[in-house]
Each structure stands twice: as C-alpha cells, then as structure tokens.
Amino acid sequence: MTEPLTEKLQHLRTEAKHALDKAADQDSLEPWRVKYLGRKGQLARLIKDISQLDAPARKSAGQLANTIKQELTQAFTARAAVFRDHHSAPATALSGASLPPASSVGHLHPITLSIRRIQHIFARMGFIVAEGPLVEDPAYNFDLLNIPLHHPARAETDTFHTASGSVLRTHTSPVQLRAVLAMNLTPPFSVISPGRVFRSESTDASHEHTFHQLEAFMVGERVTVADFKGVVKKYFSDFFEQNVTTRLRPSYFPFVEPGFEVDMSCIICQQAGCSVCGRTGWLEMMGAGMVHPNVLKNMNIDHTRWQGFAFGGGIDRLAMLRHHIDDVRLFMSGRLDFLNQFS
Ligand code: FA5
C-alpha cells in the first residue's frame, strides 16, 4: 500500500509542477490551484488515503505529502508573482488576427533542460563551465588521467575508436585536464563540464551507447571530502527540489585517491523501499574522489600545496528520476510521443 501511495504522490508532484510551468497566464493559475491544492483536489484525495496505511508507512507518506504541499504552494506563489511582475503586451497586439495558427513550435530536449538546470545550480555555487571535444585524444581520455594501458576502460569493447587513432570520449573526466591546460586555469578553481559521452557496450533500460555526464572538480588549498559532500548534497537537493541525504562507499577510479561511489536517499519512496531503489532505500548516483596527485602533476599543479575533489555522474539517470522515465534509450530514440511531453 505504501509504495503505490508514495509513488502516486511523487507522480502528482511531477505532474503538478509540469502543469504549473506550462501555465500561460494569470487566468490559468486558479484552475491549477483547485485541481491540485484545492479542498477536493488531487493532493487532498491522496492525503485522505494515508489514514488507511499502517503506522510507520503513514508517517513517511504524511511527511512526503506535507513536503509536496509546501513545495506546490511555494511554486504557485512564485508563478503568480511572475505573472504580476511581468505584464507582457497582449498577444493580439503582435500576432495579427488574420495569420493562420502556428503549427508546432519546437522545444528543448529533456536532457538540455536538465543540463541548464544543473548549470544554474552550480553557477550559484561559483562554478564555471568548461567544454571539451567529443572526439578525444587517448592521452586525455586515459593516459593523463592515470589510466594505465591494461585498464578495462581501454578495452575495445568499451571504447569507440576512429581510424585516425582518436577515441569517442568515454567519460567527461578528460575535461579536467583540458580545462586546466587549455584555459590556463590556476588554482583555486571550481569547474563543471556537462556533455555527451560514448561507450561501445550493449544497451538496455539503464545503459545507452550515447549518454551524458556531469563532471565537477574543485581545487584549492584546503578543499576536502567535507566540501565535496556539501556540494553534492546541494546539487541533488536543488535538482530534485527536496532534501536528500547522501552516503559514500569506497571505490576505485585510477584518477582519484581515495575514490568513492555516491548514493542518494531514494526520492521515489523516501527510503521506505521501492522497485526503483531495489528496496534498499538508496540510489547509486556517481563516481568521485580526491584528485590523484599524478593527475595534478599532469596539470602542472603543485600537489603538495593544492588538492581537490572530482566527481562524474550520469545526467540521463538524473532526468529519468526527475521525470519518472523508466528507459534511458527513450532520450536518443527521437520518438515524438515521448519528447512532446516536455514541450
Ligand atoms: C566514470 O565515468 C568516471 N569518469 C566518474 C568519475 C569522475 C569518478 C571523477 C571519479 C572522479 P562511471 O563509469 O561509473 O565513472 O560512470 C559514471 C556514471 O555514468 C554512472 O554512475 C552512470 O550514472 C553513468 N553511466 C555509465 N554508463 C552508462 C551507460 N551505458 N548509460 C547511461 N549512463 C551510464
């Protein structure tokens, strides 16, 4: 009972926010309020069902419903303020009543929307954005990142090679070096790099050959794992518009030391256990660690003075969670029935 109800609440949250984003004018706000927040609205109906749950489930579902109510109320107030503050010219003044109606207008891809959202979050924390080439020199993709020749990531099965000896980058980590060496950055600095990456592997609902990662790295004299934890918590909490907790597990990546995997508390079930998190209450989100001294040396940075963290995580995975998408392959499918839901 808990799982369907918390999932229904999450769906309601996503749907209501989406509908509010699409509200074209002041007049469409009141019907939205009645539909979602009204006394007989959708949220009120779900809240009624909470009383039928057993005590522990009732508590977590109740907390979730309260959070959603607050979020939707705040979002509604903010949207109303936008319409109040920006009185746009009446559309008829510009449109010309005799013109035929516009057919369909294009819109941004859900991954582009997610990348913009991420860039805003990190810009507020003082990060700059760097870009790197998609067709990469193996030196940047592997060698300078301390990835030795025998590492599995260099195997033919994972990497697309070009006839001229380049590779399609398998991750966004090469931008760490590109940013420092090509942009002549000197520490302290904080950089993100969102972008497309490619892996020659078989695809399924959670694996694509072409997907998107976010790389972030911060170098300074006193940057520690505590800074990393703070940045990541802020990133996920802002992205999903709810408070999340994170945990680190030891892991190995040749370009960091120590390295870890980062898990986030499941935002679908609020850690009650559901199919998305495999009933563990946690979701695996990214690889991370403290930048390896060899990588700092390759950046011509004095590793005895400067240190920092780096992380790389899938953007598609984030967008899937935010929009309740169950197959990563939909993003690259070009299917309009899927894409038009984000217009
Ligand atoms: C890396 O790519 C490391 N460069 C991350 C890193 C950066 C570690 C900086 C330490 C410091 P990994 O191979 O685990 O790590 O991929 C990172 C994320 O990309 C995964 O957590 C997952 O979200 C996403 N991902 C990996 N493979 C795929 C795939 N085939 N399809 C969709 N997403 C994928």
Same domain as 274, residue 188: yes
Q: Please report whether residue 100 resides in a domain.
A: no
Using an 8 Å Cβ cutoff, are 141 and 167 in contact? Answer: yes
CA of 247 to the centre of ligand 1 (A): 17
Confidence of residue 23 (pLDDT cuts 50, 70, 90): confident
Q: Please report whether residue 149 resides in a domain.
A: yes
Instruction: Find the range with the poorest average confidence among 146-155, 186-195, 290-299.
Output: 146-155
Cis peptide before 258 (omega within 30 of 0): yes
* Lookup: tokens for 158: 């994972």
Q: Please report whether residue 286 resides in a domain.
A: yes
Nearest CA to ligand 1 atom 10: 288
Same domain as 306, residue 176: yes
CA distance linking residue 194 with residue 175, whole number of Å: 10
Residue with the bigger pLDDT between 116 and 18: it is 116
Query: Quick one: pLDDT at residue 269?
Result: 87
Average pLDDT, the chain: 89
Place of tokens 């694509």: 208
| Ligand 1-lining residues (CB < 6 angstroms) | 171, 173, 199, 201, 207-208, 211, 213, 253, 256, 259, 286-289, 310-314, 316-317, 328
Q: Which tens digits make up the pLDDT trace of 40-76?
A: 899 999 998 998 888 888 888 888 888 898 888 878 8
Q: Please report whether residue 280 resides in a domain.
A: yes
Nearest CA to ligand 1 atom 32: 207
Same domain as 131, residue 38: no
Same domain as 143, residue 63: no
Instruction: Find the range with the poorest average confidence among 78-82, 115-119, 206-210, 215-219.
Output: 78-82
Q: Please report whether residue 120 resides in a domain.
A: yes
CATH number at residue 208: 3.30.930.10
Cis peptide before 56 (omega within 30 of 0): no
| Per-residue buried b or exposed e for 91-106, using 16+ beta carbons within 10 Å of the residue's own CB | eeeeeeeeeeeeeeee
Q: Please report whether residue 25 resides in a domain.
A: yes
Q: Which atom number of ligand 1 is nearest to the Cα of residue 328?
A: 32
Same domain as 328, residue 231: yes
Query: Quick count: other Cβ atoms within 10 Å of Cβ 202?
Result: 8
User: Could you tell me what percent of the chain has a pLDDT over 70?
Assistant: 93
Query: Quick one: pLDDT at residue 92?
Result: 45
Domain that residue 60 falls in: 2-86
For residue 136, is pLDDT > 80? yes
Q: Please report whether residue 98 resides in a domain.
A: no
- β-sheet bridge partners, residue 282: 265
Q: State which of 144, 176, 253, 257 you would mutate to test the pocket of ligand 1, scoring each by most atoms of that ligand within 8 A of its C-beta.
A: 253
Reference 115, options 32, 216, 266; nearest CA is: 216
Nearest CA to ligand 1 atom 12: 287
Q: Which atom number of ligand 1 is nearest to the Cα of residue 217?
A: 9
Query: Quick one: pLDDT at residue 170?
Result: 96
Same domain as 201, residue 67: no
Q: How many domains does the chain have?
A: 2
* Lookup: tokens for 38: 């009204």
Same domain as 254, residue 178: yes
Same domain as 123, residue 255: yes
Q: Which atom number of ligand 1 is nearest to the Cα of residue 171?
A: 2
Place of tokens 């600095």: 189
Same domain as 260, residue 139: yes
For residue 335, is pLDDT > 70? yes
Q: Which tens digits make up the pLDDT trace of 254-275?
A: 999 999 999 999 988 889 988 8
Q: Please report whether residue 105 resides in a domain.
A: no
